Amino acid sequence: MALAGRTAMRWARLRSPCPAAAPLCRPAWLPAACERRYSCPGKEKLDMSSYPVESIRNFSIIAHVDHGKSTLADRLLEITGTISKTDRNKQVLDKLQVERERGITVKAQSASLFYNHEGINYLLNLIDTPGHVDFSYEVSRSLSACQGVILVVDANEGIQAQTVANFYLAFEAQLSIIPVINKIDLKNADPERVEKQIEKLFDIPTDECVRISAKQGTNVEKVLQKVIEKIPPPQCNTADPLKALVFDSTFDHYRGVIANIALFGGEIAKGHKIVSAHTKKRYEVNEVGILTPNEQPTHKLYAGQVGYLIAGMKEVTEAQIGDTLFLYKQPVEPLPGFKSAKPMVFAGMYPIDQTEYNNLKSALERLTLNDSSVTVHRDSSLALGAGWRLGFLGLLHMEVFNQRLEQEYNMSVILTAPTVPYKAVLSSAKLIKEYGKEQITIINPAQFPDKLSVSEYLEPTVLGTIVTPHEYIGKIIALCQDRRAVQKDMLYIDENRVMLKYLFPLNEIVVDFYDALKCLSSGYASFDYEDAGYQAAELIKMDILLNGNPVEELATITHNDKAYATGKLLCERLKEAIPRQLFEIAIQAAIGKKIIARETLKAYRKNVVAKCYGGDITRRMKLLKRQAEGKRLMRKIGNVEVPRDAFIRILKRETDK
């Protein structure tokens, strides 16, 4: 979600069986996706002791998508001599194809910059953050390694939903904020208006904003100076015992897990024995270093510094984001805020062709090596065969994961429409005993407990932020109401832009909300959301019947208010998807015994090819035999034959409208 601008391109790419999907199709000058380069073995190890805490600044750049975060990062790397200055430096820190295409950051990449200001050598650690609140936990961990942020806002588009979300993350982390207005070279740039928005919404005086053009390099130097002046150095001491925050990790097939760390105290070097506060496992450090942005080994890392560590960890789950590392036998109080990733959106994933199952399985395994936040459970469907139920942090996470499967592993899959984890508070003593708890999470409609044994159903909610030109307010409010959302806030951020905050049931936005919003605002409204806990909801289980027989894979959990509309839509789509048969088929949506919607598929009255003589029989036989062969793959519901294709068309996520 919250992907502006590049959406059209991205769907065009997603739909085409594009050759660019092959992992090897990248410009030769780019580092290989997902893999870090080896550091040059002959190179001298750097001595980091010459950078005391006072000369260190740790910061992030945060921005709405496409506002120029990665371009600014490129310029900062160039100015500080971290990378050479060429025309080809575009999104240097975004290494994945999906990142470049979507203009987002999925995997954070960090870089240490050396910069001399007024005679002092500074070490500036640019800690990249994933660009979306789907990854808000990662963002908050990355931010916890920083003392300040550069908040980039497009001079033309002004504050967008993600700008707001990102600002609050930084604000709540009590970081220094340097507002930067980018793209002032654009024809329609209106930096004054944006400065006023920033003042109104974030309470930052207009004269604190730095106007830049990252593309042309205008005023970028000034941003670096602000970083040094306004962001405080980290508050920590090398004399303290080691305390290191893991804020990211990647997996390298040859060297195992590479953890990105920020030192909150002490020092670390090869040979040190360390312990993970979360897993309590012990490791010996093999290598430490800084990222420039490729790995550059150093003798040591000292308090306040940011870098990487390799210590024989075999799986990314051993270096969980937010974990604290300390020296063996010198335990410290772990850094606050650690939690395990919690999936918010679930979807079934099946190979298009069952013979591809093993290939897909190994691709999934390899991809989850680098993304431990995806949960994977084996699942199978009578219609779609063997597959998995995957849990994602959010919608963008799901899309990115799917796109990476396609691009990096050349896998095409059936991804079913996403569902959300509901909960039920049980009232039946028998069920409570059976589950061993009073509150259960329901991922699969088959597990939906009957109303009689439940005191209350709960659904997940999110707090959504929408920023829009004011002329679309009416339509957007109507859309939100239709999605059962409750307005929490409405604020004019300038004369013609409005920020709306709504509490949404998560399931109302997982399917097509973003497309609908973009469509009715001609693409101008932006949207972002954050987790807002569970709320009580009148949930029901709806069955789909074919000539009276329920179709297991089409059962859905829905809100009472939405049952009719959902049922009607499903019946209509099924009518389109099931081929006519020799008898009439009643397609019904039912809640318990009550039928709430019905479509009728009429029987075939004529289906016989007109001309069949000697000439055309070969082609005809091929078609008939394929149909006969297809009988094997038909799912029979009572006497109704439903092709696998029909299930795919119904269950598959609609990616565009």
Partner 1 sequence: LCPQWPYCRKRCSYCNFNTYVVPAVDEAAVRACLVREALTLLRLSQVHSVTSVFFGGGTPSLASPRTVAAVLEAVAGATQLPAGAEVTLEANPSSTSTSHLAGFRAAGVNRLSIGVQSLDDAELRLLGREHTAEEAQKAVEAARGLFPGRTSIDLLFGLPGQSRDAWAQRLEAALGLCDDHISLYQLTLERGTALAAQVRGGALPAPPPDLLADMYQTARTVLVAAGFRHYEVSNFARKGALSTHNLSYWRSDQYIGVGPGAHGRFVPRGEGGCSREARVQTLEPVAWMREVQSQGHGTRSRVVLSPLEQLEELLTLGLRTDEGITHEHWEHFSPQLSLQDVFGAPGEARALQQQGWLLLDGGGLRCTWAGLAVLDSLLPDLLWQLQRR
**Nearest-angstrom CA–CA distance, 569 and 550:** 17
**Nearest-angstrom CA–CA distance, 305 and 263:** 6
116 vs 618, beta carbon nearer partner 1: 618
**Dihedral of CA 395/397/401/406: which sign?**
positive
Binding flags for partner 1, 150-189, as an x/- string (CB under 8 A): ----------------------------------------
Binding flags for partner 1, 254-293, as an x/- string (CB under 8 A): ----------------------------------------
366: left (phi over 0), alpha (psi -120 to 50) or beta: alpha
**Minimum distance, C-beta of residue 640 to partner 1, in the bound complex (Å):** 13
**Minimum distance, C-beta of residue 584 to partner 1, in the bound complex (Å):** 13
**Nearest-angstrom CA–CA distance, 509 and 515:** 10
329 vs 605, beta carbon nearer partner 1: 605
117 vs 580, beta carbon nearer partner 1: 580
Mind giving me the DSSP string for 557-598?
Answer: EEEGGGHHHHHHHHHHHHHHHSPP-SS-EEEEEEETTEEEEE
**Nearest-angstrom CA–CA distance, 237 and 168:** 29
Please report where in the chains the tokens 């240490």 appear, as a residue. Answer: 112
342 vs 625, beta carbon nearer partner 1: 625
**Minimum distance, C-beta of residue 383 to partner 1, in the bound complex (Å):** 19
**Minimum distance, C-beta of residue 583 to partner 1, in the bound complex (Å):** 8
**Nearest-angstrom CA–CA distance, 120 and 56:** 11
**Minimum distance, C-beta of residue 624 to partner 1, in the bound complex (Å):** 5
At 433, the amino acid letter reads: K
**Minimum distance, C-beta of residue 150 to partner 1, in the bound complex (Å):** 54
In a 13 Å sphere around the CA of 117, the CA atoms on its Cβ side amount to 20
**Minimum distance, C-beta of residue 12 to partner 1, in the bound complex (Å):** 24
State phi, psi for 104 to the nearest 5 degrees.
-125, 165
Mind giving me the DSSP string for 35-104?
Answer: -PPPPPTTSPPB-GGGS-GGGEEEEEEEESTTSSHHHHHHHHHHHTTSS---TT-SSTT--SHHHHHHT-
8 A C-beta contact, residue 577 and residue 652: no
State phi, psi for 607 to the nearest 5 degrees.
-155, 85
478 vs 603, beta carbon nearer partner 1: 603
- Is 556 strand, coil or helix? strand
Binding flags for partner 1, 236-255, as an x/- string (CB under 8 A): --------------------
Residue-wise burial string across 537-546, b where 16 or more C-beta atoms lie within 10 A, e elsewhere:
bebbbbbbbb
Binding flags for partner 1, 112-131, as an x/- string (CB under 8 A): --------------------
**Minimum distance, C-beta of residue 385 to partner 1, in the bound complex (Å):** 20
8 A C-beta contact, residue 195 and residue 181: yes
38 vs 604, beta carbon nearer partner 1: 604
446 vs 624, beta carbon nearer partner 1: 624
At 503, the amino acid letter reads: L
Residues 576-635 that bind partner 1 (CB under 8 A): 580-583, 602, 604-618, 620-621, 624-625, 627-632
88 vs 625, beta carbon nearer partner 1: 625
Binding flags for partner 1, 482-521, as an x/- string (CB under 8 A): ----------------------------------------
State phi, psi for 320 to the nearest 5 degrees.
-75, 140
Binding flags for partner 1, 346-385, as an x/- string (CB under 8 A): ----------------------------------------
**Minimum distance, C-beta of residue 601 to partner 1, in the bound complex (Å):** 12
**Minimum distance, C-beta of residue 608 to partner 1, in the bound complex (Å):** 4
Q: Report the largest interatomic distance among the alpha carbons of the chain, rounded to a whole angstrom.
A: 94
The counts of H helices and E strands in the chain are 15, 33
Q: What share of the chain is helix, strand, coil (3-state, %, to 5)?
A: 30, 30, 35
Binding flags for partner 1, 529-568, as an x/- string (CB under 8 A): ----------------------------------------
333 vs 629, beta carbon nearer partner 1: 629
Structure tokens that stand for 397 in this block:
């996470």
**Minimum distance, C-beta of residue 158 to partner 1, in the bound complex (Å):** 43
Q: Which stretch binds partner 1 (CB under 8 A): 348-356, 408-416, 502-510, 574-582?
A: 574-582
Residues 212-231 that bind partner 1 (CB under 8 A): none
Bridge-based pairing of strands 539-546 and 556-559 is antiparallel
**Minimum distance, C-beta of residue 546 to partner 1, in the bound complex (Å):** 17
**Minimum distance, C-beta of residue 637 to partner 1, in the bound complex (Å):** 16
475 vs 580, beta carbon nearer partner 1: 580
486 vs 624, beta carbon nearer partner 1: 624
203 vs 629, beta carbon nearer partner 1: 629
Bridge-based pairing of strands 148-154 and 176-182 is parallel
19 vs 614, beta carbon nearer partner 1: 614
**Nearest-angstrom CA–CA distance, 483 and 461:** 12
For the purposes of burial, counting CB atoms within 10 Å of the CB of 100, is it exposed (0-12), middle (13-18) or buried (19 or more)?
Answer: middle
**Minimum distance, C-beta of residue 603 to partner 1, in the bound complex (Å):** 9
348 vs 643, beta carbon nearer partner 1: 643
**Minimum distance, C-beta of residue 585 to partner 1, in the bound complex (Å):** 13
Q: How many residues bind partner 1 (CB under 8 A)?
A: 30
Binding flags for partner 1, 456-485, as an x/- string (CB under 8 A): ------------------------------
3-state secondary structure string, 185-238?
A: CCCCCCHHHHHHHHHHHHCCCHHHCEECECCCCECHHHHHHHHHHHCCCCCCCC
Residues of this chain that interact with partner 1 (CB under 8 A) are 580-583, 602, 604-618, 620-621, 624-625, 627-632
